Amino acid sequence: MKPSATIRTRLDDFVVDELPAYVPAGSGGHAFLHVRKRGLTTLECVARIARALGVPSRDIGFAGMKDRHAVATQYLSVPWPESTDLTPLRELRIDDIDVLDVQRHGNKLRTGHLVGNRFRIVLRDIDRDRVSAVVQEIGDLAVRGVPNAFGPQRFGRDGSNPGRAIAWIRGTGRGPRDPRMARLLFSSVQSWMFDRVLQARVEQGTWATALTGDVMKKHDTGGLFDCTDETVDAARAGRGEVSPTGPIFGADMRRPSGKPDDLEQAVLRDAVGDPSVLDRFRKIGAGSRRTLRVFPRETAAAANADGTVTVEFTLPKGVYATTVLGMVVELADATARHRETQEAPETSVHDEMLYDSPPGSG
């Protein structure tokens, strides 16, 4: 049985730093703000900056959402003509938001324009007799990898988003009018179906190996290929060179064949009925593939004198820190009770740590 641990007892117990996909060019009609936020969702951060600058929130770009219950750095873009001085942006003073840097760029920052995220997380309330084992186990994750699940943080505060999305897809419920919220809601059910496939592969013991018909991914280049020789590709998977992928369902998704396809299509039909209904949602979720396994990088864990454990690692975009930690400890989120007592606004489709990209990433 895994030991238990508590996360997010304090705001700075959970620190995440966004790793950008590129650096600003230094010129152009947009300003990239590198900001640090405390106790705010990304959308709340955007709204405060928009009010301070007198610009519409929709004009502010960001690569990914970061959790409210954290200290997080990320990049935002604001339309800012080249003839306009950057000083007002550098001197912004907004509660719970620090502007760390401002640089010009030629276009708006878009969802998914990041490499990944660097985490520093404090685990509390661990049985002192098991602290050393937790430190060792976390270090081992970088070698063996972990199932690349989305988990409940992708499904909304009360876990209802996949059900809402399924009703919308089947035509028995209404979808959001806001295009951004529509994309988030649709991606929640894509993520939910991926997790169902992954769970089945975990139960089969095949989540980290190759099956004939699998769409495999090369970890060094990101290239996809079909598994036609299970023995050869299973050996490569054992060395950590490649991993099988699972479905981010959509009209244009690359399908596997054989037993992997049988499993995926069974999950899809069980959720939405006729798979052809996905054709209507091509513009907001065309479909892609996501690895069933992920490897944390730059991993470190250290026991502290007070019995806590500080963990650091880097994850690709679209991968959740709680997924990684949950392989070693049973997580208790100190903010969960606070969240349960707050009614989610109708438009708040998602409010979690790393909604950084369409769910096929990783």
Which sequence positions are flagged as catalytic? 67
Q: Residue 223 in contact with residue 217, Cβ under 8 Å? A: yes
User: What single-letter DSSP state applies at residue 288?
Assistant: E
User: What single-letter DSSP state applies at residue 335?
Assistant: T
Q: Residue 71 in contact with residue 14, Cβ under 8 Å? A: yes
Instruction: Mention every residue, 6+ apart, whose C-beta is less than 8 A from residue 269.
Output: 275
Separation of alpha carbons 349 and 362, rounded Å: 22
Report the amino acid identity of residue 161: N
Separation of alpha carbons 74 and 273, rounded Å: 39
Q: Residue 32 in contact with residue 82, Cβ under 8 Å? A: no
Q: Where are the alpha helices (DSSP H) in 177-243?
A: 179-204, 230-238
Q: Which residues pair with 351 in a beta bridge?
A: none
Could you identify the residue written with the tokens 């004198």? 305
Longest Cα–Cα distance in the chain: 62
